[in-house]
Amino acid sequence: MKTKATTRDNTRTKAGSCRGVWVFADHRNYFQDRVTLQILAKGRDLARDLETEVGVVVLGYGVSEFVMEYVAHGADIVYLIEDQRLAKYNVDIYTTVVCQLVERYRPEILLVGATDFGREFAPRVAKRLTTGLSADCVALEIDPVEKILLQTSPSFEGSVLATIVNSTARPQMATVRPGTFKERKHDHHRKARLIKPQIDLVGGTSRMEVLKVRKQPHRGVDLREAPIVICGGRGMGGKKGFGVLDRLGKLLGAEVGATRPPVSEGWAESDRLIGQTGRAIRPRLLITCGTSGAVQYTTGIQNSEYIIAINKDPDAPIFQSADFGAVGDAHQVLHHLIMRLEKETHG
Ligand SMILES: Cc1cc2nc3c(=O)[nH]c(=O)nc-3n(C[C@H](O)[C@H](O)[C@H](O)COP(=O)(O)OP(=O)(O)OC[C@H]3O[C@@H](n4cnc5c(N)ncnc54)[C@H](O)[C@@H]3O)c2cc1C
């Protein structure tokens, strides 16, 4: 069940003079982590509703190759600071630099990906600028009357989806869950203004030193990118049940995901978890088997194009999220489906 809660933040008033929607660029693993591009796409919708522009803040060293990418994906203005001292993502220095930029250019909205870095960095920026921050947002809209940002995020351990507004302090800040929004098509005809601000990096001293950066090895296809996903819940009954999902996955070219109970039981790996604390997916087709439809799970599947649910309980809430439903034992339904597909594949 979705419940709306609205909170109002009454910190510093400086709303009137602020313009623009800003996106902080997290380009550390550009080709795999698409969250900056996804937020840029959403930023364009917000900027359209506010009749303003989308700016992207790019910090780093040797990062000009990303600038054109961000423009092609929706940025109207690029704020670029290239300096060797920004080569490694250092939360202290990055916070100082972004705060200086915000105070100089006064954006109305600042969006950050809820990556491991973004979760560390955004609260520091918000605290230093005395503004509010909504964490892990799964929806962002502009209020058509008040023209303020409606920031929806799971709250109270995920039992409600709260819509939070920051009516006075600026910028309105939110972190956004990777996979929540869809990136725009690459448009190499787009043009943007490039601004290279002079910023005091000497003031940006850090209590920490980043010694080494190692990329995590990429395991299989990321669920967030998969066009077809089959998700198993507790109703699959065990590892054997997940074996059936793998078999179907191979026939359909699909990735297999899981709700929390199978991950806790060790039937599926933790990187397969879908939902509020796992991946937010947006496949063309999701087949969800033996899942009840808890809000912490449905938060992560709400952007799927088509959902087929299989559950033996006709009253299971998952059917409210589904386009098509099959009431029955998942093992039996999947068995028939696999037999049919194997017959079609192998004749
Ligand atoms: C802070 C917090 C964060 C959370 N984050 C997540 C998260 O990211 N992802 C997540 O998934 N959960 C998360 N949870 C847990 C969530 O609340 C649910 O407990 C969980 O999603 C339930 O998983 P399930 O649907 O597989 O299991 P259940 O709720 O136990 O549902 C099993 C379903 O299977 C059906 N079933 C049983 N046997 C069969 C069969 N043979 N054939 C067909 N159907 C059958 C049953 O009718 C039932 O509807 C979180 C909880 C909290 C408190």
CB 281 near ligand 1, within 6 Å? no
Give the span between the Cα atoms of 304 and 313, in whole angstroms.
Answer: 22
Q: Is residue 180 scored above 90 in pLDDT?
A: no
Q: Categorize the per-residue pLDDT at 24 as very low, low, confident or very high, splitting at 50, 70 and 90.
A: very high
Residues 60 and 137 both lie in one domain? yes
Residues 32 and 180 both lie in one domain? yes
Residues 149 and 269 both lie in one domain? no
Domain presence at residue 214: no
Q: Is 158 left (phi over 0), alpha (psi -120 to 50) or beta?
A: left
Pick the residue with more confidence: 4 or 226? 226
Pick the residue with more confidence: 241 or 18? 241
Pairing status of strand 149-155 against strand 160-165:
antiparallel
Question: What helix, strand, coil percent values describe the chain, rounded to 5?
Answer: 30, 25, 45
pLDDT of residue 178: 86
pLDDT of residue 129: 96
Residue at which a domain ends, from 145, 177, 195: 195
Residues 50 and 171 both lie in one domain? yes
CB 261 near ligand 1, within 6 Å? yes
Mean pLDDT for all residues in the chain: 89
Q: Is residue 8 scored above 60 in pLDDT?
A: no
Q: Specify the number of domains making up the chain.
A: 2
Domain presence at residue 206: no
Domain CATH code at residue 328: 3.40.50.1220
Residues 289 and 247 both lie in one domain? yes
Domain presence at residue 216: no
Pick the residue with more confidence: 204 or 340? 340
pLDDT of residue 31: 65
Domain presence at residue 9: no
Q: Flag the least confident range among 22-26, 203-207, 224-228, 316-320.
A: 203-207
Give the single-character DSSP code of 223. G
Joined together, the tokens standing for residue 10 give: 């009454």
pLDDT of residue 2: 40
Q: What is the mean pLDDT of residues 273-299?
A: 93
Q: Categorize the per-residue pLDDT at 179 as very low, low, confident or very high, splitting at 50, 70 and 90.
A: confident
Residues 53 and 181 both lie in one domain? yes
Domain presence at residue 1: no
Overall pTM surpassing 0.75 (yes/no): no
Task: Specify the amino acid at residue 217.
Answer: P
Task: Specify the amino acid at residue 29.
Answer: N
Domain presence at residue 202: no
pLDDT of residue 278: 87
Residues 176 and 61 both lie in one domain? yes
Residues 166 and 91 both lie in one domain? yes
Calculate how far, in angstroms, residue 34's C-alpha sits from the geometric centre of ligand 1.
Answer: 28
Residues 136 and 82 both lie in one domain? yes
Range of the domain at 297: 223-346
CB 235 near ligand 1, within 6 Å? yes
Q: Tokens 């203004």 sit at which residue?
A: 193
* Strand ranges inside 185-227, DSSP E: 193-195
List Cβ neighbours of 180 (8 Å cut-off, separation of 6 or more): 38, 42, 137, 138, 139, 280, 303
CB 290 near ligand 1, within 6 Å? yes
pLDDT of residue 217: 60
Give the span between the Cα atoms of 242 and 256, in whole angstroms.
Answer: 8
Residues 335 and 260 both lie in one domain? yes
Q: Categorize the per-residue pLDDT at 18 as very low, low, confident or very high, splitting at 50, 70 and 90.
A: confident
Calculate how far, in angstroms, residue 318's C-alpha sits from the geometric centre of ligand 1.
Answer: 10
Q: Flag the least confident range among 83-87, 255-259, 310-314.
A: 83-87
71-126 pLDDT, tens digit each = 999 999 999 999 988 988 889 999 999 999 999 999 999 999 998 899 999 999 99
pLDDT of residue 344: 78
Beta sheet of 255-258, edge-to-edge order:
255-258, 228-232, 285-289, 306-311, 324-327
The closest of 270, 260, 271 to 234, measured between CA atoms, is: 260
pLDDT of residue 10: 40
Domain CATH code at residue 37: 3.40.50.620
Q: Is residue 167 scored above 80 in pLDDT?
A: yes
Calculate how far, in angstroms, residue 140's C-alpha sits from the geometric centre of ligand 1.
Answer: 26
Residue 161: strand, helix, or coil:
strand
List Cβ neighbours of 62 (8 Å cut-off, separation of 6 or more): 82, 87
pLDDT of residue 4: 44
Residues 252 and 143 both lie in one domain? no
Backbone angles phi and psi of 224, in degrees to 5: -70, -20
CB 20 near ligand 1, within 6 Å? no
Residues 144 and 190 both lie in one domain? yes
Q: Flag the least confident range among 67-76, 178-187, 227-236, 309-318.
A: 178-187
Domain presence at residue 84: yes
Q: Categorize the per-residue pLDDT at 46 as very low, low, confident or very high, splitting at 50, 70 and 90.
A: very high
Q: Is residue 12 scored above 50 in pLDDT?
A: no
Domain presence at residue 208: no
Give the span between the Cα atoms of 347 and 342, in whole angstroms.
Answer: 8
- 8 A C-beta contact, residue 175 and residue 124: no
